[in-house]
Amino acid sequence: MEKSVKETAYNTSVFSAAGSAMMSFKPVNAIHQHLCAFHTYAIDRTRHIEAHHFCTHLTPDLHQCVIYDSDKPDAKLIGIEYILSENAFLDLPLEERKYWHSHKYEVESGLLRLTVKGLVPGKDSYPSSKTTRNLMSYFLEMVTDYAEQPAMLSLQRTYGKTIHTWQVDIHPHLPLGPPTLMMSYTNDRQLEKDPKLASVLISQEIQSKRLLRKNYLPQYGKSSQADEWEQTGQSVSFEPIMKDVQFQ
């Protein structure tokens, strides 16, 4: 086979299908949870990103998530998040804790959501009746609310370390610039300043989740060692520093 033909074949669906059949994707196949929330930049809280987390639970105390900007097939891989239980977080060195944010508000407010597949697999088979669509949507919401309760009971007391490698909101085509530390929102006021986030906050879906979760989530006070920016007004910025390369 000619070199040019081989290079052309590399980006075809046939080559991709062959790769899927021949190769192992065990770490990817271990992903079993899809969560959606909003991340805000640690040093610029005027900017936010909708973040779709695809997570693996390595241990009860440690989850790892790859983050995309959507749940579509062509979604951009924009970062990673590590999630620790409260006990594991409190065992961290004090210097390390400045990188971590709480999940208490995200869970209790309804902003952090478990995302499930639609009940109808294909668009063509989707019911044309508006009443039927509304009933199916309502049923799916009920199923989701029930399915996510064990997750939210656990995630309420967890802490995340999130780094985005693609500032997709200002560089939509290429992952330019240094990585950025991301944080979570910690109260309603922070979202109300942004029209888009404010509309999400008052949406029926979020308000329904908030009310439902209030009935089953326990009272919980997050650790003061997380969300350090709330006390100091400062956060971490990853600045590129050139250093001499060490050789053996």
Per residue in 113-122, pLDDT tens? 998 775 434 4
Note the pTM of the prediction, 2 decimals: 0.85
- Tens-of-pLDDT digits for all 248 residues of the chain? 566 655 566 666 666 666 667 888 899 999 999 999 999 999 999 999 999 999 999 999 999 999 999 999 999 999 999 999 999 999 999 999 999 999 999 999 999 999 877 543 444 444 556 565 455 555 566 677 778 999 999 999 999 999 999 999 999 999 999 999 999 999 999 999 899 999 999 998 899 999 999 999 999 999 999 999 999 999 999 999 999 999 98
Query: In angstroms, how far is CA 2 from the centroid of its own chain?
Result: 43
pLDDT of residue 22: 80
- Find the helix or strand (DSSP H, E) in which 39 lies: strand 33-41
Residues 229, 226: Cα–Cα separation, whole Å: 9
pLDDT of residue 154: 96
Residues 237, 161: Cα–Cα separation, whole Å: 14
Residues 113, 35: Cα–Cα separation, whole Å: 6
pLDDT of residue 129: 60
Residues 65, 55: Cα–Cα separation, whole Å: 4
DSSP string, 70-136: -SSTT--EEEEEEEEEHHHHHTS-GGGGGG-EE-HHHHHHT-SEE----SSS-GGGS-S-HHHHHHH
3-state helix, strand, coil in the chain (%, to 5): 40, 25, 40
pLDDT of residue 124: 43
Residues 50, 26: Cα–Cα separation, whole Å: 27
Domain boundaries of the chain, sorted by first residue: 25-226
3-state DSSP call for residue 62?
strand
pLDDT of residue 176: 97
| Token digits of residue 225 | 């060692």
CB 122 within 8 A of CB 152: no
Residues 235, 245: Cα–Cα separation, whole Å: 28
pLDDT of residue 123: 42
pLDDT of residue 36: 96
Ramachandran region, residue 112 (left: φ > 0; alpha: ψ -120 to 50; beta: rest): beta
